[in-house]
Chain A
Amino acid sequence: MESEIRKKIIGIIERDARLNAGEIAAMLGLDAEETASEIRAMEKEGIICGYHAFVNWDKTDDDKISALIELKVTPQRGNGFDRIAEKIYQYPEVESLYLMSGGYDFTVILKRATMKEIAAFVSSKLAVIDEVQSTATHIVLVRYKDHGTSFIEPRRDMRMVVTP
């Protein structure tokens, strides 16, 4: 991330992707055209990778679950973890994949699915990858906070309507 300007634009977009370039420019005291072209450039460079709605599924009647899997693997000669990572993240079932420091190697977060689907994916797709030594699957019970947003109590403005 080269410039201060980019950092500031991202700081705003990351919190609210619906703001358009003109609005962001106004907030930062920048030129609207310049802001729009910075945003386009960051999209092209893969710095801004998408704009998504942030959903609290627990509030819907969808009863799928989220799973987080710890993977221990044997790194391959030559390309280390990257090749194994690719074998994992290519699966559409995988929501996120991180290489970790510490007691295990990868954190795999699966897209929401049923218990059956998760079990099938772990046993028939993940565990069978040659380099995978072990898996430990954790099921999310309650999501308290995600993306900096509390899921438990939506923020309510408790101030009086007019004060000095």
Chain B
Amino acid sequence: MKDFICSRIKKIKPSGIRRLFDIANEIPDVISLGVGEPDFDTPWHVREEGIYALQKGRTFYTSNSGLPELREEICKNVKRKYGLYYDSNNEAVVTIGGSEAIDIALRALIDPGDEIVYPEPCFVSYQPCILLSDGVPVPIELNAETEFRLTPEKLERAITEKTKALLISYPSNPTGAIMEREDLEKIAEVVRRHDIMVISDEIYSELSYKGPHVSIANMPGMQERTILINGFSKAYAMTGWRLGYALAPAHIMEYMLKIHQFAIMSAPTVSQYAAVSALRDGDKDIEVMKESYDQRRRFLMEAFREMGLPCFEPYGAFYVFPDISEFGMSSEEFCTALLKAENVAVVPGSAFGECGDRHVRISYAYSIDTLKEAMKRLGRFVQELRERPRQ
């Protein structure tokens, strides 16, 4: 039989996370600091609402762009929190997680050969999604020196005539980096001058520990050239509900909606009803979870200081991204060795782009108890590496 698989998908490398998962999964009692999702349960009032929706038989398709009342709540929420006004009738779409929103945003913008610039290390789906749209991924390598913030100089250098859009995500997975207003202002200036679009994945916006999150859409003249992506997974501990959204000017949303309409139809109905409750009554839940993450974040930073592991202080999401370059190993070697020696799973920085190879991603979506034990083991491991004679 001939090979029927298209070349486009063959070009895409398998995920580096997958490899580690396969090893870690074999080890019983592994302490994992490897997940990218909250450890909290979805707040009960949200689950209740989902159960109620099922009980009432609300199990039909919703309108393509999502339940009107959910779209209204989304727009209200974005206005209340970030001061941005969107029309819930024609500037919002409810998607299957932020993941789908990223995909349809890229598909709506990319003509074959268009370049999408994006900072690396970054979320694993950006490059594959760009490639699936026949776009050209143009990563911008960031490092700890600039606390993994995108600088206007670096952006300027990456932009060409073919650049269609900048794709950014702050607070960042995997680095935990944030961008503050001054940082965003400078980026916005470059974006406007070169007349490109921005896709801003702000899925971690609620988890920002150094003052309130600022959206790039908030910079002067930027809302008209920004596709704003957010969702329920991280803020409300709702990963398995598969629900997110995109907001964009109507003339862009029209086309994103077209893709969504034909590829997806509509997001899960039960999840949409539950999400209404999350937005209406979830502020308190977010506050409690955020406080807890922040405590763990500080706890880990202190643990790194004690073991002498360099790590810039991240102010967002639930990741820390310590530097392991002193050990002369690739991040994948480091993670594999740590897993074998101490049964602790963390994710190699290279899984998020080559320039992440000096780092590992450690998630603090775990109880302090777990983190305590894991840091004890990591400390021991690091000590042993340092005492080991160099080959």
Contacts and interface: CB of A to CB of B under 8 A. Distances in A.
B34 interface: yes
B39 A159 contact: yes
A151 to B, nearest CB: 16
A20 to B, nearest CB: 10
Interface in A148-164: 157, 159-164
Interface stretch (B224-232, B292-300, B378-386): B292-300
A163 B25 CA distance: 12
A102 interface: no
Interface string B32-60: 10111101000000000000000000000
A33 to B, nearest CB: 14
A162 B124 contact: no
A26 B37 CA distance: 23
Interface string A96-125: 000000000000000000000000000000
A29 B298 contact: yes
B261 interface: no
A34 interface: no
Classify chain B's interface size.
20 to 34
A85 interface: no
Contact of A28 (B15, B36, B298): B298
B111 interface: no
Contacts of B125: 164
B298 A163 contact: no
B368 A19 contact: yes
A162 B21 CA distance: 5
B299 A26 contact: yes
A16 B295 contact: no
Interface in A14-42: 16, 19, 23, 26-29
B129 interface: no
B298 A162 contact: no
Nearest to A15: B368
Interface string B234-278: 000000000000000000000000000000000000000000000
B296 A162 contact: no
B347 interface: yes
B298 A27 contact: yes
A12 interface: yes
B15 A164 contact: yes
A23 B34 contact: no
B35 A163 contact: yes
B295 A164 contact: no
Contacts of A29: 298
Nearest to A29: B298
B123 A162 contact: no
Contacts of B372: 23
A23 B306 CA distance: 12
Given A19-B368, A26-B302, A160 B295 contact: no
Contacts of A19: 368
B24 A163 contact: no
B345 interface: yes
A161 B368 contact: no
A159 B37 contact: yes
B35 A162 contact: yes
Given A16-B368, A19-B368, A157-B39, A162 B20 contact: yes
Given A16-B368, A23-B372, A27-B368, A161 B296 contact: no
Return the 7 tightest CB-CB contacts between A and B, nearest first: A26-B302, A162-B34, A27-B295, A162-B21, A161-B32, A161-B24, A164-B124
27 contacts: A16-B369, A19-B368, A23-B299, A26-B298, A26-B299, A26-B302, A26-B303, A27-B296, A27-B299, A157-B39, A159-B37, A159-B39, A161-B32, A161-B34, A161-B35, A161-B345, A162-B17, A162-B20, A162-B24, A162-B25, A162-B34, A162-B345, A163-B36, A163-B37, A164-B15, A164-B124, A164-B173
Interface of A: 12, 16, 19, 23, 26-29, 157, 159-164
